Amino acid sequence: MAGHPRPLSPHLQVYRPQLTSFTSIMHRLTGIGLAVGLLYLVCWLVAAASGLDAFDRLQSFNGSIIGKLLLLGWSIAFFYHLLNGIRHLAWDAGWGFELPAAYKTGYAVLIGTALLTILAWVIGYYQMGAF
C-alpha cells in the first residue's frame, strides 16, 4: 500500500454482525482451514505410502488430544464449507437471494453442520468399537 491506508469496509468498529455476514466470513475462514487440511491429507498419504513406521507415528498423533482437535476442526470446517458452498451455488443460480430465504438457509447450514459433524464422529467412534 502506497502510504495511504484506505478505510476498511465493512467498518469493523461500527458494523453490527449479522447471520449473513457471519456465514460469509466463516466460509472464507473454513476455506483457509481446509486448504491447510489438504496439506495434512497429503502428508497422511505420503506416510501411508512410506510404510508402517511413518504411518503409525502419524496415526498416533491423530489419536492425541491435539490431533483429535485438529480432525474435529477440519470435520466442522468441511461440513460447513460443503453446506454453505451449496448455498453459494444456489445463489449463483439466482435462488434464495431474498433476505428471509438467506436467513433460513443460513440457519440450515449451521444446524446441518452440527448434525453432520456429530453423525460423522458417532459413526467414527462406533467403527472403533467405542459402543
Q: Which is nearer to another protein, 30 or 106 (CB)?
A: 30
Residue 67 binds to another protein (criterion: CB under 8 A): no
Query: Smallest Cα–Cα separation from 75: which of 39, 124, 131?
Result: 124
The span of 17-25, 97-105, 106-114, 122-130 binding another protein (CB under 8 A) equals 122-130
Three-state DSSP class for residue 95: coil
C-beta atoms surrounding 30 within 10 Å: 23
Q: Which is nearer to another protein, 32 or 111 (CB)?
A: 32
Residue 31 binds to another protein (criterion: CB under 8 A): yes
> CB–CB of 77/37 below 8 Å?
yes
The span of 17-25, 101-109, 116-124 binding another protein (CB under 8 A) equals 116-124
